[in-house]
C-alpha cells in the first residue's frame, strides 16, 4: 500500500507559499543584477568524489550519497559553492572576475526542525577570480541591500576573518591540528559565554598553558575591538593580512551607508565549513530564533583542488526558506496570492464561446482572465471567486446578452454595475486601479 507521504524534511509548496517565495526571488534577482551578477545553473547531481572531503567532518556525514545503476557513487549537491568551483575548473577560460548568482535547491541528510529542511533553496552570489577584500565587502553590501529591500528590520551581519582566527590561534599556542576544535569552541561564545568557551577548550586540552588561557579569555570579552586583536596578532604575517582586509571591508560598508547597527566585527564567528580561507560572514535575526539566514566567505584554495591553477573566489548564500519563515512570522506575508484579475461566470454552454471571446479580448488588453467552465449555480461560481480573492467577476446571462451589456461585480467592494459591451476593458481597468 502506498502511503501518501513525502520524505521527512521535504515539502510541497502550495500556491500561497509560492507567491511569497517568488516575490522574494524576484526582488533578490533585481538587486543581484544591479551589481552586475549573471545567472548560472548546475545539475543537482554530482559525482560523490567531487563533493567529498570539502565540508569537514560534520558536513561529510550530511551529504546525500548513493550508488546509481551503473555502480557509480553519486551525490546530491550539498551547497552551490562546490559545484561552482567544479564549473570554474572545467572552464578555465571564462572571463574573470566572474560574478554569478544561482537560486537552486540543495540537500542535506540532516534531522529537520524549525527552519531546517533536508531540501532547501540557497540563493548564492559569488565573485570568482578576484582576491580583493572589496569583493568580499560587496557581497556583504548586497546582503544588506537584499534584506533591506525585503523589509527586514533588525538583523545583524557578523564579520570575521579566517586569517585573523588562525593568527589568534597561533599566538595562543594552539597546535595546527587543534584549530578546528578551537574554532568550534569559539563559535559557541553567544550561547555559553567566555567561561563556557574556555571550559570547552580545557576539556579538549588544546590550550597549552595558564598564560595563554588568560589571554584568550581577555579577547573573548565583548569590549574587545578590532584594534585589540590587531595588537595581539601583530607580527604574524597571516594576521596582519587579515586585519588589513577587515579594515577594507568595514570602511567599504561605511562608505556605502550600511547602518552601523546592522554589521560588526565579531571574533567569535568561525563558520563550520572547512574551505574558507579569508573573510567570513553571516547574518542572524533575533526573532524568530532560527539560526543564520545568510552565510559565506572567501575560499581561495577550493578551485585549486580541481585544477592545477588556484583561483581566488568569495561567495555568500541566502536561505530562502528561512527568509520566508522570518517574513511570515513578522507578519509580512501576502494573503491575496492569485494573479487572476477577472473571472467570467457561465450560465449555459451556448454562451461559452461568447465568454471565450471576451476572455481573449481582456487578455489582449493585459488583464489576467479566467473562464469558469462548469455550469454550476452562480452562487457557487461567486464562492469560488471569493475564496480565491479574484477581484472582479463578470456575469453575462440571457438578460445581458439581449441588451448587449455585461454585469461587472467588484468583489472587494461588493458593488456591481451593468455596462455596455464596448466599455468593458475600460471599466475593468478602472476597478483594478
Partner RNA sequence: GUGGGUGUAGCUCAGUUGGUUAGAGCACCAGGUUGUGGCCCUGGGGGUCGAGGGUUCAAAUCCCUUCACUCACCCCA
Give the interface with RNA as residue ranges (CB under 7 A). 5, 7-9, 56, 58-59, 62, 79, 108, 110-117, 120, 122, 184, 187-188, 191, 271-273, 282, 289, 291-295, 317-319, 321-322, 377-380, 382-383, 385-387, 395-400, 407, 409, 411-412, 414, 416
How far is residue 78's CA from residue 87's CA, in Å, rounded to a whole number? 15
The beta-strand segments (E) located in 266-363 are: 279-285, 292-298, 313-319, 342-344
Cell of 99: 560574478
Nearest approach in angstroms of CB 411 to RNA is: 4
Among 156, 374, 148, smallest CA distance to 281 is for: 156
Nearest approach in angstroms of CB 332 to RNA is: 18
Distances (CA, A) of 46 to 10, 60, 122, 171, 424: 20, 15, 17, 40, 55
Beta-ladder partners of 214: none
Nearest approach in angstroms of CB 230 to RNA is: 26
**287 preceded by a cis bond (ω within 30 of 0):** no
* Nearest to RNA of 123, 127 (CB atom): 123
Phi first, then psi: give them for residue 184, nearest 5 degrees: -65, -40
* Nearest to RNA of 108, 171 (CB atom): 108
How far is residue 221's CA from residue 232's CA, in Å, rounded to a whole number? 14
Nearest approach in angstroms of CB 63 to RNA is: 11
How far is residue 53's CA from residue 13's CA, in Å, rounded to a whole number? 33
Cβ atoms 78, 63 nearer than 8 A? yes
* Nearest to RNA of 59, 230 (CB atom): 59
* Nearest to RNA of 243, 395 (CB atom): 395
Beta-ladder partners of 158: 264, 282
* Nearest to RNA of 121, 232 (CB atom): 121
* Nearest to RNA of 171, 271 (CB atom): 271
* Nearest to RNA of 187, 228 (CB atom): 187
* Nearest to RNA of 19, 280 (CB atom): 280
Nearest approach in angstroms of CB 295 to RNA is: 4
How far is residue 336's CA from residue 33's CA, in Å, rounded to a whole number? 28
* Nearest to RNA of 189, 359 (CB atom): 189
Nearest approach in angstroms of CB 25 to RNA is: 15
Burial of 113 (0-12, 13-18, 19+ CB in 10 A): exposed
DSSP assignments along 220-252, one per residue: HSTT--HHHHHHHHTT-HHHHHHHHHHHHHHHH
Nearest approach in angstroms of CB 281 to RNA is: 10
Among 317, 264, 259, smallest CA distance to 292 is for: 317
> What is the chain's Cα-based Rg?
28
Helix, strand or coil for residue 382?
helix
Nearest approach in angstroms of CB 278 to RNA is: 16
Nearest approach in angstroms of CB 237 to RNA is: 26
Amino acid at each position: 500500500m502506498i502511503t501518501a507521504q513525502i520524505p521527512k524534511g521535504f515539502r510541497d509548496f502550495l500556491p500561497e507559499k509560492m507567491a511569497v517565495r517568488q516575490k522574494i526571488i524576484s526582488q533578490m534577482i533585481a538587486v543581484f543584477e544591479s551589481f552586475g551578477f549573471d545567472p548560472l545553473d548546475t545539475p543537482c547531481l554530482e559525482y560523490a568524489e567531487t563533493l567529498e572531503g570539502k565540508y569537514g567532518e560534520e558536513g561529510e556525514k550530511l551529504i546525500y550519497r548513493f550508488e546509481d545503476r551503473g555502480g557509480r557513487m553519486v551525490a546530491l549537491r550539498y551547497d552551490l559553492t562546490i559545484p561552482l568551483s567544479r564549473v570554474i575548473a572545467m572552464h578555465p577560460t571564462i572571463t574573470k572576475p566572474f560574478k554569478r548568482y544561482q537560486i537552486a535547491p540543495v540537500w542535506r541528510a540532516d534531522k529537520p526542525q524549525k527552519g531546517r529542511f533536508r531540501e532547501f533553496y540557497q540563493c548564492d552570489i559569488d565573485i570568482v577570480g578576484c582576491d580583493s577584500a572589496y569583493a568580499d565587502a560587496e557581497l556583504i553590501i548586497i546582503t544588506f541591500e537584499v534584506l533591506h529591500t525585503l523589509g527586514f528590520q533588525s538583523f545583524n551581519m557578523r564579520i570575521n576573518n579566517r586569517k585573523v582566527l588562525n593568527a589568534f590561534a597561533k599566538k595562543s599556542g594552539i597546535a595546527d591540528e587543534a584549530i578546528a576544535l578551537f574554532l568550534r569552541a569559539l563559535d559557541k561564545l553567544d550561547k555559553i559565554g567566555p567561561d563556557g568557551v574556555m571550559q570547552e577548550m580545557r576539556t579538549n586540552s588544546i590550550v597549552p598553558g595558564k598564560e595563554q588561557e588568560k589571554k584568550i579569555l581577555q579577547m573573548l570579552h565583548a569590549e574587545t575591538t578590532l584594534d585589540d586583536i590587531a595588537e595581539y596578532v601583530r607580527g604574524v604575517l597571516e594576521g596582519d593580512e587579515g586585519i588589513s582586509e577587515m579594515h577594507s571591508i568595514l570602511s567599504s560598508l561605511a562608505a556605502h551607508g550600511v547602518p552601523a547597527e546592522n554589521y560588526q566585527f565579531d571574533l567569535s564567528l568561525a563558520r563550520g565549513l572547512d574551505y574558507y580561507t579569508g573573510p567570513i560572514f553571516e547574518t542572524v535575526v533575533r526573532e524568530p530564533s532560527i539560526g543564520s539566514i545568510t552565510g559565506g566567505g572567501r575560499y581561495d584554495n577550493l578551485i585549486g583542488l580541481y585544477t592545477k591553477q588556484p583561483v581566488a573566489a568569495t561567495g555568500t548564500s541566502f536561505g530562502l526558506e528561512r527568509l520566508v519563515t522570518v517574513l511570515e512570522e513578522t507578519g509580512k506575508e501576502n494573503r491575496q496570492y492569485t494573479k487572476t484579475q477577472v473571472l467570467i461566470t457561465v450560465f449555459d454552454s451556448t454562451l461559452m464561446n461568447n465568454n471565450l471571446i471576451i476572455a481573449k479580448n481582456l487578455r489582449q488588453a493585459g488583464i489576467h482572465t479566467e473562464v469558469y467552465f462548469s455550469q454550476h449555480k452562480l452562487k457557487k461560481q461567486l464562492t469560488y471567486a471569493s475564496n480565491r480573492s479574484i477581484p472582479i467577476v463578470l456575469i453575462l446571462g440571457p438578460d445581458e446578452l439581449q441588451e448587449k451589456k455585461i454585469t461587472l461585480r467588484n468583489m472587494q467592494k461588493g458593488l456591481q454595475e451593468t455596462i455596455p459591451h464596448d466599455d468593458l476593458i475600460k471599466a475593468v481597468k478602472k476597478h483594478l486601479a
